C-alpha cells in the first residue's frame, strides 16, 4: 500500500489517519467498497464503479453525502501524490453511526477512505479449486460489494495455502456463481457463457465491460445458469476482475483441465485492452 491515503477531505500519511474504535462500519463490516484500475494516473470506468457503489450503499442503508466528481478528483490527486501512474485504487465508504455499540463522536455519517498500490502480480494461467455452497443467491444482499468480506477472504486464504490461485464458488443450487474476487466465464465454440446475476455473483465492472466487448470481438455472449457439468463441455475458461482483467484458467480442481491461454481468451483479452485505450477518461480532475 502506498504511504499517502485519502481520508474524507484530506490526503495524509497512512500512519496519521484516525478512525474511531466505535465506528459502526469497523465493528460490523458495514460499508461498501470498490477496487479500480489506474491507467496513466486516471481511474478507469469510474462512472460504472460509482453507480455500483451508490446502488449497494442504498441497499445497505449507508448515508451518502459524497459527490462523484469530488471523489474522482480525490483519486486522481492521490495517484499523483503517490506517483502511482499505473496501479490500483481501493475506495471505501464506511458507516460511522448507529447500533448499540457505536460511538463515533462528531464524525460524518460515512467515512471515505482511498488507498493506492502497485498492481498485483497474477500468474499467466490460473488454477482454481471448486468450493461448494459458498454463495447464497437468495440472500437480500447477494451480489453487494460490501466491506464485510470475510467469507470470501477466508476461502481465498485457504485455497492459496493449498496452492491454488482462487476458488470457484458454487451457490445453494450447485450452480457456478463466481470466484472469491473475480467473475467466471467459459467458452464453447464461438459462445461465451457466464453466470447470471441471479446466481449470486458480483456484478463486476470488468464483467460489465466484457458484455459489450465480447459481441464486438465476434463472439456470442450469454448469461445462463451453469451447473458444474458445464465445465466438461468448455473449450476454454477464463476469469475477469479489475486487477486481472481477462485471465486464462488452465485447471479447475478436482477434474478439469484446459489448454490455456487459449485462442479465444487471448482474443478477448486483446479486445478488452483496446476498449480501455479507447475509453480511458483523461478529463482533468
Residue given cell 474524507 in the structure block? 8
**157 and 51 within one domain:** no
The total of structural domains in the chain comes to 2
Counting as low any pLDDT under 70, the low residues of the chain are: 285
Going from the C-alpha of 7 to that of each of 53, 131, 174, 195, 265, the distances in angstroms are 17, 36, 41, 36, 39
Domain match, 113 and 146 both: no
Residues 130 and 261 occupy one common structural domain: yes
Quick one: 65 and 195 in the same domain? no
User: Which residue range(s) make up the domain with 49?
Assistant: 4-117
Point out the domain boundary residue: 66, 97, 117.
Answer: 117
Is 97 in the same domain as 138? Answer: no
Task: Indicate whether 229 and 262 sit together in one domain.
Answer: yes
The last residue of one of the domains, among 117, 146, 161, is: 117
pLDDT of residue 285: 64
258 and 191 belong to one structural domain: yes
Domain boundary among 117, 147, 170: 117
| Same-domain check for residues 86 and 210 | no
pLDDT (0 to 100) of residue 106 = 78
**Which CATH number covers residue 37?**
3.30.470.10
State if pTM tops 0.75: yes
Amino acid at each position: 500500500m502506498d504511504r499517502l491515503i485519502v481520508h474524507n477531505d484530506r490526503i495524509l500519511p497512512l500512519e496519521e489517519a484516525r478512525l474511531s474504535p466505535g465506528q459502526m462500519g469497523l465493528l460490523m463490516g458495514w460499508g461498501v467498497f470498490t477496487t479500480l484500475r489506474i491507467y496513466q494516473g486516471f481511474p478507469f470506468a469510474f462512472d460504472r464503479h460509482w453507480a455500483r457503489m451508490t446502488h449497494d450503499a442504498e441497499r445497505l442503508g449507508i448515508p451518502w453525502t459524497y459527490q462523484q466528481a469530488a471523489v474522482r478528483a480525490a483519486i486522481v490527486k492521490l495517484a499523483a501524490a503517490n506517483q502511482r501512474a499505473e496501479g490500483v485504487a481501493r475506495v471505501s465508504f464506511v458507516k460511522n453511526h448507529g447500533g448499540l455499540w457505536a460511538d463515533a463522536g462528531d464524525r460524518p455519517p460515512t467515512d471515505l477512505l482511498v488507498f493506492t498500490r502497485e498492481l498485483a502480480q497474477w500468474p499467466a494461467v490460473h488454477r482454481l479449486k471448486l468450493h461448494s455452497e459458498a454463495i447464497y443467491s437468495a440472500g437480500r444482499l447477494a451480489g453487494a460489494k460490501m466491506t464485510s468480506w470475510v467469507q470470501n477472504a477466508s476461502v481465498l486464504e485457504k485455497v492459496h495455502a493449498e496452492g491454488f490461485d482462487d476458488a470457484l464458488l458454487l451457490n445453494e443450487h450447485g450452480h457456478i456463481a463466481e470466484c472469491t474476487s473475480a467473475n467466471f466465464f467459459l467458452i464453447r465454440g464461438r459462445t461465451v457463457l457466464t453466470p447470471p446475476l441471479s446466481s449470486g455473483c458480483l456484478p463486476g465492472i470488468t464483467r460489465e465491460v466484457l458484455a459489450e466487448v465480447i459481441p464486438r470481438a465476434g463472439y456470442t455472449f450469454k448469461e445462463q445458469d451453469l451447473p458444474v457439468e458445464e465445465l466438461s463441455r468448455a473449450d476454454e475458461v477464463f476469469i475477469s476482475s479489475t486487477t486481472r482483467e481477462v485471465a486464462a484458467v488452465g485447471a479447475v480442481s478436482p477434474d478439469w483441465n484446459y489448454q490455456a491461454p487459449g485462442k479465444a481468451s487471448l482474443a478477448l483479452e486483446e479486445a478488452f485492452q483496446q476498449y480501455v485505450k479507447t475509453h480511458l477518461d483523461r478529463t482533468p480532475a
